[in-house]
Amino acid sequence: MSEKSIAIVGATGAVGLEFISVLEKLNLPIKNLKLLASKRSAGKTLKFKQTGIPVEETTRESFKNVDIALFSAGSSISRLYAEDVKNSGCVMIDNSSAFRMDADVPLVIPEINPQDALKHNGIIANPNCSTIIMLMAVYPIHKKYPVKRIVLSTYQAASGAGWEAMEELRKASIAYLNDQPFQQTIMPHPYAFNLFSHNSKMLENGYNEEEMKTFKESRKILHDDNISITATCVRVPIFRAHSEAVNMEFHNEAPSVEECKTLLDEFPGIKVIDDRKNNHFPMPNEASGNYDCLVGRIRKDESLPSKAINLFVCGDQLLKGAALNAVQIAKLLV
């Protein structure tokens, strides 16, 4: 692997900090690491391999002599600098939704469609966190037993809305337990000991944007425009790691529970936790900080026992749902 010059845009944010950690742990061959953020964050110093690196303000000139730029600063920033990145001969790996559904932009989960990453025109999109976590559990089975329809229910943590949402949940929980008033500013509804429909934009069809992302993105990643997916996405008062209940209906006879476990166990990035005797299944507190997605509750759907399987998956939204997946894409380019 040849050494690459890498930039992180949004380096001081929740995902940006994980970019730095994952780059260090995966030991990518890095010639130079540039940390970029807004003017407000410029001047801060962040550590990479025990070396302090100053954060610079992102400008149109920031991408000269950079090979790969990891973006996690929101769609508007990604769109603002996309042409500057490409004109510099740099490849953007973008964590926002800005380019995910563009026909000429690959949407990549390295364990599933790594070949797509090599077809880029200067931009590779990182899928939505809930899509990545779901497909990590679905694909090992779908690859051998094609899935016809998925019914998805998500339980999404505060980490999906960044550090400010995590901090708001912490403060709101303290206030709630002490019977004190609290006015939320990040989330649209009281968050402590509550749950509500995912706080993305509500669409005319009654779905929110998060739910439609799982539908559209999954079809693109799997190269299957016929697979049916319906989702209900909910924000829950968990700090970190998303959980998802997945019902898969197959075109033909469903595989056995044991075969599903075997297929999942053999798949990179998956750890099966399915201990019925001790009622131990995937939990977000065990998925937090874990590079693997945890899968369990694997069972036949008793309403369609010959055709459908249920399972439950937990994955760290900041890692496999964001930073880890993006760095794995970068690794494909090295």
How far is it, in rounded angstroms, from Cα 220 to Cα 214? 10
Catalytic-residue membership of 242: yes
Given a contact cutoff of 8 angstroms between Cβ atoms, the answer to whether 294 and 287 are in contact is yes
Residue 147: other Cβ atoms inside 10 A? 24
Opening angle at CA 156, ends 230 and 78, nearest 5: 90
Q: For this structure, is 198 an active site residue?
A: no
Structure tokens at 197: 């429909």
Catalytic residue among 233, 242, 260, 293: 242
Q: State how beta strands 147-156 and 228-235 pair.
A: parallel
> Measuring CA to CA, which residue among 318, 261, 325 is closest to residue 284?
318
Rounded CA gap, 322 and 16, in Å?
10
Q: Which two tokens stand for residue 63?
A: 């991408």
Contacts of 242 (CB under 8 A, 6+ apart): 129, 130, 133, 154, 155, 156, 157, 160, 284, 314, 315, 317, 321
Q: Measure the CA–CA gap between 183 and 174, rounded to whole angstroms.
A: 13
Beta carbons of 274 and 281 less than 8 angstroms apart: yes
Task: List the catalytic residue out of 90, 120, 129, 198.
Answer: 129
Render 194-261 in DSSP notation, one character per residue.
Answer: --EE-SSPBPTTS-BHHHHHHHHHHHHHHT-TT-EEEEEEEE-S-SS-EEEEEEEEESSPPPPHHHHH
Active site residues: 129, 242
